[in-house]
Amino acid sequence: MYANYDCFAHKLNLAVKAGIEVFDTLSVILCKLRKICNIINKSGNARREYDEISTSLGIPPLALKKNIEVRWNTVHAVFERALKVRDVIDFLSNEHADWPKLSSTDWNTAKSVVQILQPIVDSTILIQARGMTSSAIIPLCKVLIGELKTSHVFRNFCSSMIYKLEEELAKYEKIEYLQFGTMLDIRFKDNFTNEDWKEKLLEKLYVDSDLDLENTLATSDQLSPKVDNPFSRFMKTKTPDQPRRNKPGSLRDIIALQGNGPNLTCSPVTTAEAERLFSSAKTVLTDNRKLLSAENFTKLMFLQQNVKLMGFGPQNNDNYSKS
């Protein structure tokens, strides 16, 4: 059982973009910071002056960042970096008449936006990790919507993001693969789904396992009466009416879903892993290897990604540097 679903990190980025579209003040501030960034990057004198003022004020001469729509979390990164060098920007803006000037209201807006977007940034970082799977999509989406609803500032900005996330959540919740994966993930269990999906999962567990569910639960309780098993309690209280069967089994057999259980909790949340693979491909298919055949390219890519798993080559950077 597999299904197609959109990259969750991309949807988070679209939600932030939807919020910016209705927040004119935010767009103006981003435009001002972009102009300041361009001045510093294009002028050697401005860059040296920026570094000198930063040093004199005891602030690290951090480079300003630009908002790039197709990159995740850049709005947050732009404001977070600008707030760190606020004193430098204010000083240079006052010294140069042609530099855009940010008022105290602009800075307060930037600070509030950073706080509002922080949960989304944290979620994006979390789901890019290799240990996070698609079973986290529905829980994270619901948690983020709840966080945005608690914000009491810039309601139009938050409401636009909430609307977009709820729209995407409705699509994700229709996918059986994601619903089952969430419930089978021990981190979330049945806390983020409704009774209908619980019943569907129980029916699948029963049909796929081909076991007598009631006898199985009774047997498992007799074998380990002192163990408080949340899954066992869940199965007892939510078991649908099904015809009895005479084939005994264990609770572990039911959870295994005849080998399909891991398939429901192994797919990635985002396309980050594929992007990493594309980046690695650049180091193999270089300008000096234009005649490389597709077959050899595939083999080299496979070796590059799996050679350490097979026990060959340096296993970490420390061993490599010592050898």
Residue 38: predicted pLDDT? 94
Q: What's the mean pLDDT in 103-110?
A: 95
Q: pLDDT by residue (tens digit) across 144-180?
A: 999 999 998 999 999 999 999 999 999 999 999 899 8
The larger pLDDT score, comparing residue 78 to residue 246, is at 78
Residue 181: predicted pLDDT? 86
Asked if residue 266 lies in contact with residue 184, where contact means CB atoms within 8 angstroms, the answer is: no
Confidence grade of residue 11 (pLDDT, cut at 50, 70, 90): very high
Residue 314: predicted pLDDT? 60
The larger pLDDT score, comparing residue 192 to residue 130, is at 192
Asked if residue 257 lies in contact with residue 231, where contact means CB atoms within 8 angstroms, the answer is: no
The larger pLDDT score, comparing residue 278 to residue 88, is at 88
Residue 260: predicted pLDDT? 53
Q: Which of 102, 200, 114, 120 is nearest to 154 (CA)?
A: 114
Helices 176-184 and 155-173 pack at an angle, to 10 degrees, of 100
Residue 145: predicted pLDDT? 95
C-alpha separations of 58 from 51, 80, 94, 196, 232 in Å: 11, 18, 19, 59, 60
Tokens of 59: 């602030």
Tokens of 291: 């005649």
Q: pLDDT by residue (tens digit) across 235-274?
A: 455 444 444 443 434 434 444 544 555 577 778 888 877 7
Angle at Cα 186 formed by Cα 185 and Cα 188, nearest 5°?
A: 75
Alpha-carbon distance of 122 to 124, in angstroms, equals: 5
Q: Taking the model in full, what pTM does it have?
A: 0.73
Alpha-carbon distance of 301 to 193, in angstroms, equals: 39
Q: pLDDT by residue (tens digit) across 302-312?
A: 888 777 777 77
Residue 253: predicted pLDDT? 45
Residue 138: predicted pLDDT? 93
Q: Which of 3, 276, 263 is nearest to 130 (CA)?
A: 276
Residue 31: predicted pLDDT? 94
Which residues make beta-bridge pairs with 268? 133
Alpha-carbon distance of 120 to 122, in angstroms, equals: 5
Is residue 89 helix, strand or coil?
helix
Q: What's the mean pLDDT in 9-21?
A: 93
pLDDT exceeds 70 at position 227: no
